[in-house]
C-alpha cells in the first residue's frame, strides 16, 4: 500500500511539473507576443538613436566616438541582447491573461497609434527635459555650491 501511495505521489508530482512547464511556456509566448505587437525592437532602436543624438548635441566632444558608442549600446542594450530579460520582466509583472489583453489592445487602432506615436512622445519628452535642465542650470549650480558650503561646515 505504501508503494502505491508513493507511486501515486510521484505521478501527481510529475504531472504537476509538466503542467507548470506548459503554463510557463504559454505565459512566455504571451509575453513574447506582446513585445512583438508593441514593436519593442524598433522602439528600442529609435530610442537608442535619439539618445545618441542628444548626447552628441549636449557633449560635442564625444561626437567622433558616435560609432563606438552605437556599437557598445547595440551589443549590450539592443532588443536582441535584452529580449530574454524583457520577457521575464513582463512575465513577472503580468499574468498570461493580462499580457493577452494588453496585446489585444495594441492590435486596435488606438493601440497601433500609441505604438506609432511612442517614439515621438519619448523624443519630445526627452527634449522637454533637456530644455528644462538647461533653462534652470544656474539654479542647479547654485544649489550645488550651497551644498558644498554646507558640507564644509559639517
Report the percent of the chain where pLDDT is more than 70.
Answer: 86
Q: What are the DSSP calls for 77-121, one per residue?
A: HSHHHHHHHHHHHHHHHS-HHHHHHHHHHHTSHHHHHHHHHHHHH
Which pLDDT score is estimated for 20? 46
Query: With contact defined as beta carbons under 8 Å apart, do 87 and 81 qualify?
Result: no
Q: Mean of the pLDDT values across residues 59-64?
A: 91
The set of long-range contacts for 51-58, using a CB threshold of 8 Å and a minimum separation of 24, is 51/126, 54/126, 54/127, 54/130, 58/130
CA distance 133 to 139: 9
Query: CA-CA distances (angstroms) from residue 96 to 23, 29, 65, 83?
Result: 9, 9, 42, 17
| Reported confidence tier of residue 4, pLDDT bands at 50, 70, 90 | low
Please give the average per-residue pLDDT across 80-89, as a whole number. Answer: 95
In this model, does residue 138 exceed pLDDT 80? yes
pLDDT grade, residue 153 (50/70/90)?
A: confident
Per-residue confidence (pLDDT) for residue 119, from 0 to 100? 78
Amino acid at each position: 500500500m505504501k508503494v502505491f501511495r508513493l507511486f501515486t505521489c510521484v505521478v501527481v508530482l510529475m504531472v504537476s511539473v509538466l503542467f507548470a512547464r506548459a503554463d510557463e511556456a504559454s505565459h512566455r509566448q504571451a509575453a513574447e507576443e506582446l513585445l512583438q505587437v508593441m514593436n519593442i525592437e524598433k522602439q528600442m532602436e529609435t530610442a537608442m538613436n535619439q539618445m545618441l543624438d542628444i548626447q552628441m548635441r549636449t557633449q560635442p566632444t564625444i561626437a567622433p566616438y558616435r560609432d563606438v558608442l552605437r556599437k557598445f549600446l547595440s551589443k549590450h542594450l539592443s532588443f536582441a541582447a535584452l529580449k530574454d530579460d524583457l520577457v521575464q520582466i513582463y512575465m513577472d509583472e503580468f499574468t498570461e491573461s493580462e499580457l493577452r489583453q494588453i496585446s489585444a489592445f495594441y492590435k486596435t487602432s488606438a493601440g497601433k497609434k500609441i505604438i506609432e506615436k511612442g517614439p515621438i512622445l519619448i523624443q519630445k519628452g526627452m527634449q522637454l527635459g533637456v530644455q528644462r535642465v538647461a533653462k534652470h542650470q544656474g539654479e542647479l549650480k547654485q544649489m550645488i555650491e550651497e551644498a558644498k558650503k554646507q558640507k564644509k561646515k559639517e
